[in-house]
Structure 1
Amino acid sequence: MVFDFLQPISESFEKHLQTLSNQSLGKKVVFHTQTDFPILEGVSIAIFTVNEHRGNDKDNEDYSFEAFRKKFYGMFPGNWNTSIVDLGTIEAGASIEDTYFVVKSLMTELIKKQIIPVIIGGTQDLTYPMYRAYDNLDQMVNLVSVDNQFDFSKENKLDKDAYLSKIIVEEPNNLFNFSNLGYQTYFNSQEEIDLIEKLYFEAYRLGEVSNNISVAEPVFRDADLVSVDMNSVQSSYSGNFEEFNPNGFTGKEICALARYAGISDKVTSFGIFNFNPNSHEVVLAAQMLWYFIEGFCFRSNEYPFGTKEHYIKYIVPIEDEELIFYKSNKTERWWIEIPFLTNVNNKLKRNTLLPCTHEDYLAACEQEIPERWWKAQRRNIL
């Protein structure tokens, strides 16, 4: 059974838990200990760490997630009403492919049980087995990466920076959309930027997101899998001075993005990667996870889970099209319909709603076709 590959929390951390306040997260979460494994029935979120750093050409023995756990479980929860478990750690396998297999298998089991797996640590190439976990779930996958680069394969590039090529190229190809938030142009070749455009994927530069963080909300609202690279954060906020990044998201911005990921009704897996779990970075990583769970606790169960009864429908004639928008009466969030095209091989097998903004609706009223809608149309028939 795949759960047998999980290592329990250490005895020293078990003792540390006894010193925490009764109101702290450490007293609200059920842990995989030396003697007990959590009952998963009724659980909403399962946290586990992955001690796999070979994607960054580093040894796995140098890492422990105890510092991260101490920071995270020492914090206090918000007004949360959700069941959380900590399943412990997946230790590195004999090969990196062995680790991938365990991550993929564990995630598949959790998602089938409608539990959101949250992966902490390891290198970002673990996004690949996260994506592969959806292979047997009979769905197209929307992947959102918060990263300063696109992670395509190229010469002399480490695995942690090359997983996206494997996702795009290898069968079965379940990827419907890839969205990057926070890329910095000087870390990406023009060929990579052109390829993102050619595949009708979405990419938002760091400045674009930082200037208006809310542009990221519809992107997360359409995501299934969210992967966050801690190298997307300024070193002055992350505490990572080993790989110095003078530019990037601030601590406040990256936590806001984590909250958007959590509040998305569609997100079913979340990962934070490429940080040193023994360093100052654990403080920010712990706060990011806190904000993800905070967002999760405020999910509104709208599309695709609710009906369209509680939406106002707007029809905008534009050129030869009729764009159909929906606005939620509950949250005032907006969607635009991607129509099912006859006589064409549609990746999406029915009319689908794409999250958008009020500004997209206003632009359509001025006869401007929303770029996200146009790209989604093109991806659907590629």
Structure 2
Amino acid sequence: MNFSFLSPVSDAVLAHNELLPEQALGKKLKIHSAQNGIPDLDDVQLAIIGVLENRNDLNYIGEEFQLNTIRQAFYGLYPGSWNTTIADLGDIQKGETVEDTYFALKTAVSILLKKSIIPIIIGGSQDLTYANYRAYDVVTPMVNIVNVDSRFDLGDSNKPIKNNSFVGKIILDKPYNLFNYATIGYQTYFNAQEEIDLMDNLYFESYRLGEVSKDITIVEPVLRDANIVSIDLNSVKSAEVSSNQKFSPNGLNGREICAIARYAGISNKVTSFGIYEYKASKDDDMTAMLIGQMLWYFIEGVNFRVKDDDFSDDRSYQKFITLVDDQELIFYKSNKTGRWWIEIPFLSEVNNKLKRHTLLPCMHQDYLDACNNKVPERWYKAIQKNSL
């Protein structure tokens, strides 16, 4: 297994780890160290990889960064009653070119995915999500991406890839593996009207910051349907982070970003999770602790995963049928978790990407809306996307 491009966790972090109580998380991780090399991954479910690449940041001026303070904050937390084994595989250093870094990350992620290990990526610029996405080319035919971000990051895909335009590259580069793209926490004034219109025209999903802050549970179904979750730290309001990380007075707060991380963890579909746009500061403790807690909540979520979405046993669910404008909508509710799904019918006359009835995660509220003759928006967009 070739992880030769990964450099070990620094001795300073390991020395700090030695001083922690025996119950701390750092004492329970399998850590890539200079002394012992890459740990055995046979019983590992989650693997942390740092990526020290930020050259495609629009505002890059040559600054370097390390992830030591984040590791120290994370290692110092106490685990829940977890039954997962976690490895810290160290860092991917900057390659000769950014493409070299992408290749290293893509290779690492695809190795982990094939071993059914969830990569947790902590990175510089968010364009690294593109390399994460490309790792799925050999793993799964259709990918759903959720981006927690104040911006859509569609950009001009004719120009070289940057941290504000990587999604355009994902949409237009072959092989075309993107099925759905959703943005959580976007702020209208950071997005050109053309990008907002394009999101609508492509039937992608977007959840405004105000909607999310009003009711955080609305993002659970879209995260339940995601394969890749990518979080831009600039989506967090500046009061919650250290000086260099401050971006906007408005944004998600610490509780909301941790709730989103936990929803991502609980999702049976999420197979990679990334936190990007980290900017090191002298007073780094607050950002480092926030990232540590986001990692904690994601891992907590993974530990509480419940498999309940194949519905092969009709005793495991309840089925509800409603009529909206002569359209029959079929809902399923899991008896085990109380989670809801809606059926997307197979359109036989269309050469669609989904070759069978597909269940789309939804909320109880969608069923109540359907009972009141209102079509759920997620269902409508999925139908439109299938018939494109």
**Shorter chain as normaliser: what TM range?**
over 0.9
Give the SS at the match of 2:3: helix
Give the Cα separation in 1 of the matches to 2:340 and 2:243. 38
Distance 1:307 1:217 in 2: 24
SS in 1 for 2:130: helix
Higher mean alpha-carbon deviation, 146-155 vs 343-352, is at 146-155
Alignment equivalent of 1:261, drawn from 260, 264, 274: 264
User: Using the alignment, how far apart are the partners of 1:305 and 1:73 within structure 2?
Assistant: 39
Paired with 1:276 and 1:139, the residues of 2 have a C-alpha distance of 34
**Structure 1 gap segments, 5+ residues each:** none
**SS at 2:145's partner residue?**
strand
Separation in 2 of the partners of 1:308 and 1:172?
37
Structure 2 gaps of 5+ residues are none
- The equivalent residue for 1:22 is 22
SS of aligned partner of 2:305: coil
Q: Quote the residue 1:178 is aligned against.
A: 181
The 5 Å alignment of 1:55-74 reads 55-56=56-57, 57-58=59-60, 62-74=64-76
For residues 157-199 of structure 1, what are the alpha-carbon distances to aligned partners after superposition, in whole Å with 9 as ceiling and x for unaligned? 9811110110011111111100000000000010000000000
- 1:103-142 superposed Cα distances (whole Å, 9 cap, x missing partner): 1111111111110000012110001011111111132100
CA distance in 1 between counterparts of 2:47 and 2:310 reads 23
Per the normalisation by structure 2, the TM-score is: 0.95
Q: Which residue of 2 aligns with 1:284?
A: 290
Q: Does 1:205 align with 2:214?
A: no
SS in 1 for 2:229: strand
How far did 1:85 drift?
A: 0.3
Q: Structure 1-normalised TM-score?
A: 0.96
Task: Work out the CA distance in 1 between the residues paired with 2:60 and 2:189.
Answer: 25
1:348 Cα deviation from its structure 2 partner: 1.1
| Pair 1:348-2:386 in alignment | no
Percent identity, aligned pairs only?
53
The whole-number CA distance in structure 1 between the counterparts of 2:308 and 2:56 is: 37
Query: How far apart are residue 322 of structure 1 and its match?
Result: 1.4
Provide the residue aligned with 2:250 in structure 1: 247
Retained in 2: the 8 A contact 1:327–1:335? yes
Of 88, 98, 116, which aligns to 2:100?
98
Shift of 1:318: 2.4
Q: What is the number of equivalent residue pairs in this alignment?
A: 382
Q: Name the counterpart of 1:135.
A: 137
C-alpha distance after superposition, 1:225-261 (max 9, x if no partner) = 0000000000101224554310000111111111111
Call closer, same or farther: CA 1:242–1:249 in 2, change over 3 Å: closer
1:377 is displaced (CA, Å) by 0.8
1:378: how far off? 1.0
Separation (CA, whole Å) in 1 of partners of 2:334 and 2:62:
47
Mapped contact 2:142–2:177 kept (Cα < 8 A) = yes
Whole-Å separation in 2 of the counterparts to 1:62 and 1:212:
38
Give me the whole-angstrom Cα distance separating, in 1, the residues matched to 2:63 and 2:374.
55
Shift, 1:31, TM fit: 0.4
In the TM superposition, residue 36 of structure 1 has moved relative to its aligned partner by: 2.7
Q: 1:233 aligns with which of 231, 236, 241?
A: 236
Shift of 1:50: 0.3
* Distance in structure 1 (CA, Å) of the matches to 2:288 and 2:137: 32
Q: CA deviation at 1:306?
A: 7.2
Structure 2 residue aligned with 1:338: 344
Native 8 Å contact 1:47 1:117 kept in 2: yes
Corresponding residue for residue 357 of structure 1: 363
One-letter identity of the residue aligned with 1:122: G
1:193 and 2:196 correspond = yes
Q: Which moved more, 1:274-283 or 1:286-295?
A: 274-283
Shift of 1:304: 4.6
